[in-house]
Structure 1
């Protein structure tokens, strides 16, 4: 069956008959924006338009030229990190940690983590950067150990995905139907839940029992010193005294890392990587249309979903096949975007070596558990 897919790239690219060779040629091209051609694709396009407010702050920021926009993003990131550190210490000094820790008791008990990690898990649903900043401030003050810090960062990385599930699931569900919605939500939720549980169990049963990462605790002595300072200096002075050393170190690492990532983006490093990744990870068991959908998804989820919708409307693939392609596309394309936007925060919070390792390993774990749950869905469907 003949299929036409139009793509904006300094003109218009049209392909017909979505066989393997044509799909490979389309994937190798610079995919910019896929145009909806059928009813399903137009529904997705309308959802994208409805969810993007032309008068919003984000829309205004996107209209700025490259360097002013990046300068504004750096300022926002510095504010977010500062808020994270200060909020963590405000909760600790005010005594709110004990109250909030009851909400996250199942997580902290399962991983044998300190109650000080609990508020960060709640904050993860809003901002992973703020949550990680809270955690590192607690580690610097001796309230949690290195094992608890790194375990909690992995958990925050997984929990923060819940904030993006509505963006990922609802528009595709509206266009593809509720079976697709249930499948997408079920796979993503299962992957997150399994990742969190296994991370906590491995940390407790292996690293915790072996005492790995526990050597920096020293909590009793440091707590005694803090209480003395709090009585002497007052509430806000105590918060600032606890926070300033952490803030100085975070910003020291953030600035050069952000500059490096921005330079790579400016000179096309991430654009090249986004195009190269789908070519490095080809899946022979997927329909040949995936060779076009996944590169289109490298630009945005909506772009890949509209490309898949065009093939659904033409009868080239089924809705179930489109869902599987989109899930595999997320494994390939999402790590590039996370590396681009998240690495400066990881390095700022944890330092160059640990931050880079945690940023990369967190993505590997996400891909692994998403792969397992997607394969389970394929077994159920096919």
Structure 2
């Protein structure tokens, strides 16, 4: 088994991605700590407060939901800081992270659409619309679940905290507090993130992820409700990247081998089957740097289970509607 340790491989596969990851985590930590120190979370929370209150989530969770439209790292940092200070419980942390699936999806929605549109044309709008609808269902499910899994929150809690904002803030003190917390937190983040990312790089080099992708690709043969040509899209989606599945889908639409409905269902199936491993591979290193490793694993697991179930539900409803 060959293990390539040449400089281009190390730079492109390990050092540069780790530098970028560290940079964005550092920015997320700084921004998250600054927002909390200046109490801007109270304003951000006000935007999502009505929906969060229905889910019995506090103002930190509501603020994190708002921030997730701009930065997932900052949103997760806010939750992690609140959890470490005992402001939110394990259960509220998990539900808040799941609650953020909607803004997190919409953060990447334009990129997904403009990548898909050149390959599959009008089918891109349907595919993106269905996956967005699945994200909305996940958020509504969390709102419903929060009513039974979390204790009631105090009425008027958020307005009371917002009233405190009228008092004069010491900006210099807030900046000093932000920098002190950043210097304390960043080494802990790097202590976990760097070794984990390096381990995943080694796994990739020895072919573990390629083997897992090939193993999962074989499961596509069980889905006989799709024609063989559509299964090819699923396999490309799983064995390579999203763009490879789109390229295969575009070719099959062009030569009329498959209908638009079949292409969309194949892409959604590939999405469900390929996402768990990719999410663990790409998200766990940075999640483990923000949250405790055990909690990071649980958050990714819960996210992938709910994501897979809602996409499968929407895909099934779409298939039944189009038949």
Give TM-score, length-normalised by structure 2.
0.83
| Partner in structure 2 of residue 325 of structure 1 | 266
CA displacement, residues 186-244 of structure 1 (integer Å, 9 cap, x when unaligned): 21111001101212321x22321499xxxxxxxxxxxxxxxxxx97x822222233444
- How far off its partner does 1:145 sit? 3.1
How far apart in 1 are the matches of 2:144 and 2:183? 34
- How far off its partner does 1:258 sit? 1.3
| Partner in structure 1 of residue 135 of structure 2 | 192
How far apart in 2 are the matches of 1:324 and 1:296? 14
Provide the aligned length of Structure 1 versus Structure 2. 299
The yes-or-no answer on 1:295 pairing with 2:235 is yes
The structure with the larger Rg is 1
How far apart in 2 are the matches of 1:78 and 1:315? 46
How far apart in 2 are the matches of 1:210 and 1:266? 49
Choose which of 280, 285, 295 in structure 2 pairs with 1:339. 280
Unmatched tracts of structure 1, length 5 or more: 1-63, 212-229
How far apart in 2 are the matches of 1:157 and 1:314? 36
Structure with bigger RCO (C-alpha 8 Å, 6+ apart) = 1
How far apart in 2 are the matches of 1:101 and 1:184? 31
Please give the root-mean-square deviation of Cα atoms over the aligned residues, in Å.
2.5
How far apart in 1 are the matches of 2:101 and 2:289? 15
| Partner in structure 1 of residue 157 of structure 2 | none
Unmatched tracts of structure 2, length 5 or more: 1-6, 154-168
- How far off its partner does 1:374 sit? 0.7
Between structures 1 and 2, the one with greater helix share = 2
SS at match of 2:100: helix
Shift in CA distance, 319/259, structure 1 to aligned 2, threshold 3 Å: same
| Partner in structure 1 of residue 160 of structure 2 | none
How far apart in 2 are the matches of 1:66 and 1:76? 16
How far apart in 2 are the matches of 1:326 and 1:364? 18
How far apart in 1 are the matches of 2:175 and 2:151? 38
Give TM-score, length-normalised by structure 1.
0.71
The yes-or-no answer on 1:238 pairing with 2:193 is no
Counterpart mapping for 1:221-260 below 5 A: 234-260=173-199
How far apart in 2 are the matches of 1:378 and 1:290? 14
